[in-house]
Amino acid sequence: MDDSTATASISSYDELPRYSGHQVPASLPRRLPPDPEPPIPLSPFLQLPIFEAFAQHLREKENPDATADGVRRNYLAALTAPTVEAIIGQLHQYLPAGDADLLRRAYALAVIAHAGQYRQSGEPYIDHPVAVAS
């Protein structure tokens, strides 16, 4: 087929099939790419260099992939961990006016400070002092 035949078979641009975008048949489920982890909103405290220092320590010890963002995520998760909620419940039984926020921050800091440390039994180091305090 030469050029003259090709142009003769399609008389105008309007006759060309149009691409209407990628369409998935209704019978096939759509797969969406996994969402990346959302960025952590950085309050002034979360911007402190201590999080990078903890990450550096973890990189040197057991976890070469540790990042400051990962340490921040662990800190934020520890703020509302079931363990700290139980401790705060006990705090309010003995000291109704006790500073739950201070206890919450202290526990979260202890969790990230002792990340990667385990007792001989294999349990995380931080679990023992918390159990004794409870």
Threshold 0.85, pTM exceeds? no
Alpha-carbon distance of 43 to 49, in angstroms, equals 13
Residues 83-90: contacts with CB within 8 Å, 24+ apart?
83/107, 83/127, 83/130, 84/108, 86/134, 87/130, 87/133, 87/134, 90/134
In this predicted structure, the answer to whether residue 45 has a pLDDT above a threshold of 80 is no
- Extents of the domains making up the chain: 52-134
Neighbours of 111 (CB within 10 A): 21
Alpha-carbon distance of 116 to 58, in angstroms, equals 8
Q: Please give the pLDDT value at position 131.
A: 80
Instruction: Give 7-40 pLDDT, tens digit per residue.
Output: 444 444 455 455 454 454 555 555 555 556 555 5
Q: Please give the pLDDT value at position 80.
A: 87
Alpha-carbon distance of 24 to 109, in angstroms, equals 48
14 DSSP 8-state letter? G
Alpha-carbon distance of 74 to 68, in angstroms, equals 10
Q: Please give the pLDDT value at position 125.
A: 85
99, amino acid identity: D
Alpha-carbon distance of 74 to 4, in angstroms, equals 69
